[in-house]
Amino acid sequence: MREEYTTEPLSRAPGPHRAVPARPAEVREAVTRAVSERCRATHTACDTEALADALLVASELTTNAILHGGGVTDFRVDVSGPGVRLSVSDRSDELPVAVPHTDQRGRRRPGGHGWPIVCRLSRDVRVSDLPAGGKCITAVVPLV
């Protein structure tokens, strides 16, 4: 039997549109709730290291969408089987890249590490174009 848990929207906005997370902290809270709910429902202990990996991936995807993708347009978290599926959508059609940042003088600047972290900690990463423009990045992080 396959069990699947989906979080409710982070908050409800007036009208037909759902509010999306404005900060990575909101995404981390939603992931923690979803994983904790699964652990309670299945009467299993939560692997704190696996949860930490999922929270880091969620933070990186959200931060990248805010900084490089024109903002988060949708967020979903589903816990099924031995993993957590995180989906973050943004307004940009640009694919993520792992390139160190340099300034105009060629000096290395902080950044460029988020995408490699997402790829390393995830079992499966997919980037999909959205029909109305933008993209959705979905990463599955193992919980065991």
Here the tokens at position 50 are 């696996």
Residue with tokens 């909101």: 26
Amino acid 93: pLDDT: 95
pLDDT tens figures, 75-130: 999 998 889 999 999 999 998 877 666 777 777 666 678 899 999 999 999 999 99
In the chain, the number of structural domains is 1
pLDDT of 4 higher than 60 = no
Per the domain annotation, does 59 fall within a domain? yes
Write phi, then psi, for 18 (nearest 5 degrees): -95, 140
The secondary structure of the chain in percent helix, strand, coil, rounded to multiples of 5, reads 35, 30, 40
- Strand pairing report for 4-6 and 72-80: antiparallel
Per the domain annotation, does 114 fall within a domain? yes
Q: Is the pTM of this model over 0.75?
A: yes
Per the domain annotation, does 112 fall within a domain? yes
Angle ∠(99,117,73) on CA atoms, nearest 5: 85
Amino acid 96: pLDDT: 87
pLDDT tens figures, 11-47: 333 334 456 887 999 999 999 999 999 999 988 888 9
Per the domain annotation, does 125 fall within a domain? yes
CATH classification of the domain holding 76: 3.30.565.10
Per the domain annotation, does 3 fall within a domain? no
- Cβ atoms of 24 and 1 within 8 Å: the answer is no
